[in-house]
Structure 1
Amino acid sequence: MTLVELTRDLVSIPSHEDGAAAGDFLESWLRRETDADVTRDAVGNVIARKGTGPETLALVGHHDVVEPAASQVANADGNVDEASEYVVDERDGRLYGRGAADMKGALAAALLAFRDADPAGELVVASFVGEEVGGVGARYAIDDGFAPEYAVVGEGSTNYSGPNVTDVAVAHKGRRGSTITARGTAAHASEADAGENAIYRATAAVDRVRELEVPSVDVAGESIAGRLTVTEIEGGSAMNVVPARCVVTVDERTVPGDRAALEQVADLDGVEWTVDQDLPPMRCDDDAFAETVLEVADGVQAADPELVTKPHATDAGWLSRAGTDCVIYGPSEPGEAHTDDESVSIAVLERCRETYRRLAERWPLTR
């Protein structure tokens, strides 16, 4: 089976609501094509291991995708049917289809590299569920004991430093989404002083958010800065009623090692702050590992890859927080994932497959 064939097979399997069919395919393929120890856990993660050694290298991906566009799903007659297979199209050296870039193409490359490599240490390939909804599979696996010392996560790192180059990302931002709830006392607007205006309290909290300093950190010659953005506001019940409740949402982009002091808004009268989602950032703290991956990546492409950073959270954040040294190396390009015409370069898929294989063949690293 070629890389294109395997990618096409994976991309065609619907997995935006239920990853079971994709997980069945992965488990069956690994059992048929390798002699590895293959497991399928309670949430649907598929993990295969081969080799032994004091340190483990994991090739990590996910097989869930975001909901496809209507044009990306069709039945055999060409009619739109969201229960049918996803459409996969090959043209101009690229594969088009939901999940081709994010990230079944990279997963296919990792599977073939895992099958073909003969490492001296332990090599793992892992495909998680639920990455698109907050890292459900990665968190379950970590809680269940998944703890490789090193990991290459196949999210996008192509065309970051320049065109036609697949870089090695050594850090990315996280995302913390939170809600500020301001409570007051309702009153008729003609007697506004009889109440306590929740919107006024909420706007005081927004002012506090705007005053907060956001941290930054230097990684790989870049300065990664956090960001706070008020994204939604809702409150009030009528034009002539002093509002008793107002809710504000905040999107925060976090950086490795620090975050803004958003908890300070809760010091204001009548204001509560709750965290709804907290996707951790990632930074690789093992320079030797990052440099080795960069050296291998440099050997499989004409361009000169660099150590770079990513703006988006990935499962590498959960692994990094649990103690795994991670880098990101994959075929997806900026702006390609989640689009109605999502695609991936076949040449870059081959590049990633060869990088994963060569890195696995060098495992464990000589330090």
Structure 2
Amino acid sequence: MDELGELTADLVSIPSHEDETAAGDAIEAWLRAETEADVERGDAGNVLAWKNRDADGESLAFVGHHDVVPPDDSQVADGEYVVEERDGRLYGRGAADMKGAVAACMLAFRDSTPAGEVAFASFAGEEVGGTGARAAIDDGFAPDYAVVAEGSTNYSKAGVTDVVVAHRGRRGSTLTAEGSAAHASEPDAGENAVYRACDAVDVVRDLDFPEVDVLGHRVHGSVAVTGIEGGSAWNVVPETCEVTVDERTVPGERAALERVEDIDGVSWTVDQDLPPMACDDGDFADRVLDAARESQDGDPEQVTKPHATDAGWLAQAGTTCVVYGASEPGEAHTADESVSLGVLDRCYRTYRALADDWR
């Protein structure tokens, strides 16, 4: 393997599903040894580095994360992650999501010679709601522009890495219906919480899905009831019932879930709200697309992505974002997770070209 493959393999081999510290240590140590950048390690476990910090003009950041979801049993041996190379791909937990792209960002950051301010960031806690990104933003991390290196490969067609200009967010909610218990032989003596919950489900079923245009691309939201639980015994009118709702949000629009509270005894609680992302600068999106085209034989396009990423948190804080990275649909979080070494090189060349031209 070349340097990029070896660095990816090194990062993938470090367990980081329960504690990202060791992976963050490795990234920090590499940056300090291989670059003359201004390197910081935040309390949240983030690793940040800058070239030409505080230079005049606008700043550009390359952003990834070094935490992963729990591995499949087949991806662990003797307490360590298994890493294998075969057929031009590197296999292991986190190879696609997203230590391979982090490695590509690290090397491009090291090798580039920008005239303007360029940053690298690898966040902790992306897989648990973006805790690292939010901590970095709270601590003042505020690049003008960012390329978030999550997956964008094979979105428009096979064999290309596309530029994502928008992605959906996720809002997870609980609808709680309250009633009053009674013996089931006298149902009118109580208030059936399941019936109230079913009325709320009907409201959700009839909601319009939000849609929005971003740089000429249509982004579609969705809302779905994903669970219902209520009742304590077969002969008792239930006094409580909970309904879970998964909503995929779009930039600037939300489904009107608050309407469920028009039903007596029903309340609505938001449990998780991962923001969507919309690139607000078409010139920047075109600039990244031009670099992507120069770095590959295929014809990449500007596309949208169904999954939330840390780009949502950055965009919400005012950073103009796109997503561009090696992971392909269906690769992340799987028992046979892998990343193409050739696509990683493509990403490295795109990141390097962007950084070298930044001024």
- Aligned partner of 1:203 in structure 2 is 198
* Residues 123 and 132 in structure 2, CA contact (< 8 A), matched pair in contact too: yes
TM-score by length of 1: 0.96
- Aligned partner of 2:45 in structure 1 is 44
Selected match of 1:71 from 61, 70, 74: 74
Give the secondary structure class of the aligned counterpart of 1:29: helix
* Residues 160 and 299 in structure 2, CA contact (< 8 A), matched pair in contact too: yes
Give the secondary structure class of the aligned counterpart of 2:27: helix
Deviation at 1:143, TM superposition (A): 0.8
The worse-fitting range, judged by mean Cα deviation, of 47-56 and 301-310 is 47-56
* Residues 178 and 249 in structure 1, CA contact (< 8 A), matched pair in contact too: yes
> Which amino acid in structure 1 is aligned with residue 143 of structure 2?
P
- Aligned partner of 2:64 in structure 1 is 61
Using the alignment, how far apart are the partners of 1:200 and 1:296 within structure 2? 56
* Residues 294 and 306 in structure 1, CA contact (< 8 A), matched pair in contact too: yes
> Which amino acid in structure 2 is aligned with residue 284 of structure 1?
C
- Aligned partner of 1:25 in structure 2 is 26
CA offsets per residue over residues 109-159 of structure 1, 9 Å max, x none? 000000000101011000000000000000011111110000000000000
* Residues 220 and 308 in structure 1, CA contact (< 8 A), matched pair in contact too: no
Which segments of 5 or more consecutive residues in structure 1 lack a partner in the other structure? 76-83
- Aligned partner of 2:350 in structure 1 is 355
CA RMSD of aligned residues (A): 0.8
**Number of equivalent positions:** 356
TM-score by length of 2: 0.98
Which segments of 5 or more consecutive residues in structure 2 lack a partner in the other structure? none
Map 1:47-126 onto structure 2 (within 5 A): 47-51=48-52, 52-75=55-78, 84-126=79-121
Deviation at 1:225, TM superposition (A): 1.2
Using the alignment, how far apart are the partners of 1:224 and 1:20 within structure 2? 36
CA offsets per residue over residues 221-261 of structure 1, 9 Å max, x none? 43221101000100001111000000000000000111111
* Residues 13 and 83 in structure 2, CA contact (< 8 A), matched pair in contact too: yes
Say yes or no: does 1:262 pair with 2:263. no
Give the secondary structure class of the aligned counterpart of 1:179: strand
Using the alignment, how far apart are the partners of 1:273 and 1:328 within structure 2? 32
- Aligned partner of 2:130 in structure 1 is 135
Map 1:113-262 onto structure 2 (within 5 A): 113-262=108-257
Say yes or no: does 1:14 pair with 2:9. no
* Residues 188 and 241 in structure 1, CA contact (< 8 A), matched pair in contact too: yes
Using the alignment, how far apart are the partners of 1:119 and 1:73 within structure 2? 40
> Which amino acid in structure 1 is aligned with residue 300 of structure 2?
P
Deviation at 1:55, TM superposition (A): 1.1
Map 1:291-330 onto structure 2 (within 5 A): 291-330=286-325
Using the alignment, how far apart are the partners of 1:221 and 1:147 within structure 2? 27
> Which amino acid in structure 2 is aligned with residue 14 of structure 1?
P
Deviation at 1:267, TM superposition (A): 1.7
The worse-fitting range, judged by mean Cα deviation, of 19-28 and 218-227 is 218-227
Give the secondary structure class of the aligned counterpart of 1:298: helix
Using the alignment, how far apart are the partners of 1:85 and 1:145 within structure 2? 35
- Aligned partner of 1:80 in structure 2 is none
Percent identical residues: 71
* Residues 220 and 309 in structure 1, CA contact (< 8 A), matched pair in contact too: no
